[in-house]
Amino acid sequence: MGRIIALVSGKGGVGKTTITANLGIALAKRDLNVCLIDADIAMANLSLILNMQNSPITLHDVLLGEAGMQDAIYDGPAGVKFVPSGLSLENYRRVDSERLQTVIDSIRNQFDFILLDCAAGIEKNVLAALSASDEVILITSPTSPSIADVLKAKITAQRIGCKPIGVIINFVREEKGEIRKDDVMKLLELPVLVSVPWDDEVRKSFMQEHVMPVMIRKPGSPAAVALQKAAAKLAGIPVKIEETKGSGLGGFLNKLFSIFKRKPKAAEAKK
């Protein structure tokens, strides 16, 4: 029976969706059956991060009873499965998020991990996602406003009966004024699964013609490596860091030599 884990933060903009996508891919790369569900029913954008925004059947249709859950599961990158949420505002108003638990329970046996990307805040849709999950991972950045909100998210999860299992601290820059890992652990009384460093490669992953999660585009980048460690910890398996293809000294030399190997465009055109 799979583990159903909600990823919540309370505060918006701390990288919840990016972490959900990349953590799920990291788990899938270790041959685990993983399903990512966009439980942010109002402001869905996990599909954009996975570059799967054209999925015709969504969680909205399932919650409205107009489609079956199996029809809303799509093949995502690196073998991960994905259930998108709809972008329609009209359907969002009609959706009964309380059905989430029944719907997710129906696919529990198909996967090792089901990760739910939750909305910001602690409103109805977040409560529905928490109540559909067994465990919750709290996401925060190392700043006061984010910690204040994640504290409320933790209390809310406990109230609903969803067990908090750990914290992921995102956007860590090692600045003196950041709230330290020890402080976060003491305040939330939870282990820190990983501190994800600030990494420009994550931002650049959205700035591609074909958007691609950093775990696919640059698995050797610091943020991706941190999330591979978190995935191993979560699954209870040994850490196995995947390098970015063409990185390191070998990669640099290959790139350098490839400049000289390139044929002039004019010569290629003649061929």
Partner 1 sequence: MAVINSVKKIFGAFAKAILDIDDTSRPVQHLEFFRDYSDKFNFDTGTDDAQKFLNELKKKHLVDDIVVASFNGGAILSTNGNSVSRALSGAALFNYVHSELPKSESLMIKSNGWHMIVPYNKKLYIVKATSDLSNIELKALAKEIESFLLRTA
φ and ψ at residue 171, rounded to 5 degrees: 60, 40
Where on the chain is the footprint of partner 1 (CB under 8 A)? Answer: 98, 124, 127-128, 131, 144, 147-148, 151, 155, 159-161, 175-180, 183, 186-188, 220, 222, 247-249
Question: What are the DSSP calls for 103-138, one per residue?
Answer: HHHTTGGG-SEEEEEPPSSSSHHHHHHHHT-SEEEE
Give the residue with the Cβ less far from partner 1, 85 or 140.
140
**Token pair for 211:** 């958007």
CB nearer to partner 1: pick between 63 and 234 = 63
Query: Considering beta carbons, is residue 47 or 228 the nearer one to partner 1?
Result: 228
Rg (CA), the chain: 20
Of residues 47 and 97, the one with the C-beta less far from partner 1:
97
110 in Cβ contact with 33 (< 8 Å): yes
Residue 13 or residue 161: which is nearer to partner 1 going by CB? 161
In angstroms, what is the minimal distance from the CB of 159 to partner 1?
6
CB of 172 to partner 1, least distance (A): 13
- Alpha-carbon distance of 124 to 262, in angstroms, equals 57
Pair type for strands 3-8 and 113-117: parallel
Name which of 176 and 261 has its Cβ closer to partner 1: 176
**Residue 26 vs 129, nearer CB to partner 1:** 129
Q: What token pair was written down for 10? A: 């309370």
Query: Starting at the edge strand that comes first in sequence, how are the strands of the sheet with 74-75 ordered?
Result: 74-75, 81-83, 34-38, 113-117, 3-8, 135-140, 163-172, 192-197
Give the DSSP H/E element, type plus range, for residue 41.
none
Closest distance of CB 214 from partner 1, Å: 16
CB of 175 to partner 1, least distance (A): 5
Residues in the chain: 271
For residue 82, what are the β-bridge partners? 36, 74
Distance CA 239, CA 115 (A): 20
